[in-house]
Amino acid sequence: MRTNLARAIFGTSVQIVCLFALLLSGNVVAQIASGQDGKTQLVRTDSGLPIKLVIIKNDAVYKDKDGKDNPIAAFNFYWLLEPKEGKDGSYRFGTNDGLEIGWIKKEYVTQWKTAFCFDPDIPKLAGSDRYFAVVNGETKAEEARFISSAAGHKALALITDSIDGKPVSDPDMEFVKVVVFLGELLSDQPQSQDIKKLGLEIVYVIDTTGSMMPLINVVKDVVREAAKALAAHTDIKDRIRFGLVEFRDDGIDDGFPNGKSTRVACKLTSDFTVFQNALNGLKAERGGDIPEEVFVGLRTAIEDAGWQEDNNSTKHIFLFGDAPAKGKGEILSGRPIEGVSGLSRKDVIALAHPQRTGSDDVIAKNAKHIHCILAWGGLNEGGATSGLAIETRLAREQFQELARNGGKATHNQGQGFYVELDTTNNASKANATAKLNNFSQDFAFLKNPDAKTAKPEDSVIIASIYEILNSSVSLEYLKITPGYEGVAKGRDKNNHKVANAKVMILRSQSRVVSGNLGIVYSILKGKIQQRDRQDAGTLLEELNRALALANTGTKVDAHTNLADVFMKDFPLKFELANRFSVAQIAVLDERNFNALLERLENTIKYLDDLEKKEETWQRLEMPGGFRRPDGTGEFFQFVPWHATTQ
């Protein structure tokens, strides 16, 4: 989805007081009226809601009034206008106030007959089967599962209509028709400026003890080739930094300064030549027993490599080693191998993924994703002694757990990858190199979407990036494409809530509603005593005079339901009671009148609070080739929907 749409949907957590949703669905009825100032009648459902068209194709185009083809961005929406269909079956569409934009083929759009959407924002609990699902409308077979997480993975399912054409009353409990958007995760044209500005930081952590002597040159070749591919890529070379850390054993005569068992061979740098020279200088030598101070090397990479904290970059550590790690709780052949780090596997993962305060994207920007390459050859796998094989099995267990980065599921978003590198086998070397090269290619894809087709189901780099951008979703059953249409509901088969229903509001409408209700409130607040408002005719005259002075274009009679008039096309109805005509207000007793004033005041305050929060409003993008005559634009946002009764 476009960035502005994603932020509008997920960027606010305001609580709505005393509101219920307009019944937002139904069959289309023709309501053609002569337009004014070049404006055209909107096509509406039989419940009165204007029908919107959502662009669902990345290659969509439309014809403007001059018959010229123009590009139009996917995942934006516009309004269906009368006459709604042309001779070629195209739809006529425009702005919410009836200005024509042009004509668009049906294959590029879907009709959005409500103002609802689902935000699958319920975290999946470990070991549970709780998730938001989209199913086939006919067979009810599951097509996709959406599994959100605390890291901010997101998705969107617009509720386009009810199943049977009746009004949508409770999307939590009833199946409704949806069109699915997966952010830019499955889109072939991600254009977000956030992505274009995103950086990549990689630190390679390499075991350089004596046991690596027959392996080190192969490891260096793999690292060099992968890093060189990244550095040479025109789309990303200006946004990447490399670092290098080496580690050995417990610091006894390991050749590092101050007797330490690790050192930063190259701090993170954008100068590939500096990094390459440091890599070329690595030598495998020294060391004590077979288990090594792997955790010390990782801690050094996490704490001392020179990361740009809080900046817009995705951060990764690639661990290369051939032996198990010493650490807290580690046992080999029945004996503890504690080492000097004082760290357990979980401690290392916690250091790499600090649970600091701040927004999800800030936390994600400071996370260091660990990837592990277990190198072996000769004696190290099926070698001369059983002891070495046992150590290899322990190393495999440790490396795999580190690469999961605390995740549980096989394809949980944010996990790293684990590869075994047999240095005596050319195919194994090629596989490891390809894995690292794919990593760089997936990052390049986000910079230049024409480079290749993304594979989000197995791309660790794309997963980590969308944690930062707060707009992705962990998926199972990747059978669907952007714009897939199916059915869904907000609760699962066990009646657990798995998605939040939200409703789209326009800023222009919110301002009109707030202004009109403000006029009513200003007149009524001085008439608490029934005798001050018992003359309905005088009250009506005063109200219409105020509406005329405010240029609202609205005139009411004594029996007009003011909520229906002032909130026309506004997809939220506030609990202003059924008795909201001038005639009804005139006979309210003092208690009920004060309750009405309180509801009016709360409604106005809620809308005014929304108006002040500039960051929650997003501009609706107009397509190429169209400009409003007055140069203005429309803004919108999605707010939580909560059904109540009057």
The count of domains in the chain is 4
CATH code for the domain of 391? 3.40.50.410
Together in a domain, 88 and 203 = no
| Paired tokens of 194 | 């956030």
**Helix crossing, 386-404 with 345-352: angle to 10°?**
30
pLDDT in tens, 145-174: 765 443 334 567 888 888 877 777 677 678
pLDDT at 32: 29
**How far apart are the C-alpha atoms of 359 and 470, rounded to whole Å?**
10
User: Do 385 and 329 belong together in one domain?
Assistant: yes
Radius of gyration of the chain from Cα atoms? 31
CATH number at residue 72: 2.30.30
- Mean pLDDT of the 224-233 span: 77
Percentage above 70 pLDDT, the chain:
70
Query: Is residue 627, in this structure, part of any structural domain at all?
Result: no
DSSP-derived secondary structure letter, 348:
H
How is residue 529 annotated by DSSP? S
Which residues, including other chains, have CB under 8 Å from residue 270's CB and lie 6 or more apart? 238, 240, 241
Question: Considering the domain boundaries, does residue 355 fall inside one?
Answer: yes
Does residue 3 belong to any structural domain of this protein? no
Whether the pLDDT of residue 569 is over 60: the answer is yes
Same domain, 339 and 437: yes
Say if residue 452 is in the same domain as residue 515.
no
Tell me whether residue 1 is in a domain: no
Residue 360 shares a structural domain with residue 230 = yes
Please name the helix (run of DSSP H) or strand (run of DSSP E) that holds residue 109, with its range, or none: strand 109-112
**pLDDT for residue 382:** 42
| One domain for residues 125 and 209 | no
pLDDT in tens, 397-412: 999 999 988 764 333 3
* Other residues' Cβ atoms within 10 Å of the Cβ of residue 128: 10
Contact indicator for 153, 123 with CB cutoff of 8 Å? no
Q: Which of 177-186, 252-261, 265-274, 583-592 has the highest mean pLDDT?
A: 265-274
Contacts of 646 (CB under 8 A, 6+ apart): 20, 575, 577, 578
Q: Any idea which residue has 């910079």 for tokens?
A: 447
| Of 84, 113, 142, the domain-final residue | 113
563 closest CA partner among 546, 576, 545: 576
pLDDT 10s digits, 480-492: 455 678 888 888 8
* Predicted local confidence at residue 3, as pLDDT: 40
Q: Which two tokens stand for residue 413?
A: 């978003």
The reported pTM is 0.52
pLDDT at 460: 60
The pLDDT value recorded for residue 394 is 92
Distance from C-alpha of 593 to C-alpha of 604, rounded to nearest angstrom: 17
How high is the mean pLDDT of the chain?
74
Q: How far apart are CA 57 and CA 74, in angstroms?
A: 5
Residue 91 has what pLDDT? 94
- 324-382 tens-digit pLDDT: 999 999 998 889 998 888 899 999 998 998 765 444 556 667 889 899 999 876 444 44
Q: Which helix (H) or strand (E) covers residue 373, if one does?
A: strand 368-376
Distance CA(134)–CA(179), nearest Å, equals 9
Spell out the alpha helix ranges (H) of 337-405.
Answer: 345-352, 360-366, 386-404
pLDDT at residue 186 in the model: 30
Final residue before a domain boundary, out of 452, 470, 488? 470
Q: Are 318 and 402 contained in the same domain?
A: yes
Does one domain contain both 131 and 207?
no
Question: For 430-485, how does the pLDDT look when each residue is reduced to its tens digit (9 = 90+)?
Answer: 777 777 766 666 665 555 544 334 444 445 665 565 555 443 334 443 344 556 78
Residue 276 CA to residue 281 CA, distance in Å, equals 9
Specify if 8 maps to a domain: no
pLDDT tens-digit map of 67-102: 899 988 877 889 999 888 877 889 999 998 889 999
Q: Which residues contact 165 (CB under 8 A, 6 or more apart)?
A: 25, 26, 27
Q: CB of 299 within 8 A of CB of 351?
A: yes
CB neighbours of residue 97 within 10 Å: 15
End-to-end CA separation in angstroms for the chain:
36
Query: Nearest-CA neighbor of 115 among 637, 515, 610?
Result: 637
Same domain for 106 and 38, yes or no, is yes
In whole angstroms, give the CA distance from residue 111 to residue 168. Answer: 15
Does 37 map to a domain?
A: yes
Q: What are phi and psi of 376, to 5 degrees?
A: -155, 165
The token pair at 59 is 């290659």
Percent of the chain past pLDDT 90, that is, above it, reads 17
503: amino acid identity, one letter = V
Cβ neighbours for 138, distance < 8 A, ≥ 6 positions apart = none
With a cut of 50, say whether residue 565 has pLDDT above it.
Answer: yes
Q: Of 93, 113, 133, which residue is a domain's last?
A: 113
On whether both 532 and 569 belong to a single domain, the answer is yes
At 393 the pLDDT is 87
Structural domain includes residue 634: no
Q: What is the rounded (10 degree) CA torsion for 254, 257, 258, 261?
A: -40
Are 174 and 198 members of one domain?
no
Q: What is the band of 234 on the pLDDT scale with cuts at 50, 70, 90?
A: low
Are the CB atoms for 299 and 343 separated by under 8 Å? yes
pLDDT of 7 reads 43
Sheet-wide strand order for 240-247:
262-269, 240-247, 199-207, 313-321, 368-376, 418-422
- Check whether residue 525 and residue 483 sit in a common domain: no
Decide if pLDDT at 63 tops 80.
yes
Residue-number span of the structural domain to which 421 is assigned? 193-470
Average pLDDT over residues 122-135: 62
Quote the pLDDT of residue 461: 61
> In this model, does residue 322 exceed pLDDT 90?
no
pLDDT at 313: 81
The 10s digit of each residue's pLDDT in 287-311 is 677 889 999 999 999 999 999 876 7
Q: What is the pLDDT of residues 253-262, one digit of tens each?
A: 566 766 688 9
Pairing between β-strand 77-85 and β-strand 52-55 as defined by DSSP bridges: antiparallel
Query: Which residues have CB under 8 Å from 560's CB, separation 6+?
Result: 581, 582
Give the pLDDT of residue 138: 81
CA dihedral 572, 576, 579, 580 (to 10 degrees): -80
Are 176 and 168 in contact, with CB atoms under 8 Å apart? Answer: yes
Question: Does some domain include residue 620?
Answer: no
Residue 269 exposed, middle or buried by CB count within 10 Å (0-12, 13-18, 19+): middle
**Beta carbons within 8 Å of 33's beta carbon, 6+ residues apart:** 41
- Residue pLDDT, tens place only, 532-561: 888 888 888 888 888 787 766 778 888 888
CA nearest to 489, candidates 274, 170, 68 = 170
Min mean pLDDT across 48-52, 106-110, 384-388, 609-613 is at: 384-388
CB contact at 8 A, 368 and 464: no
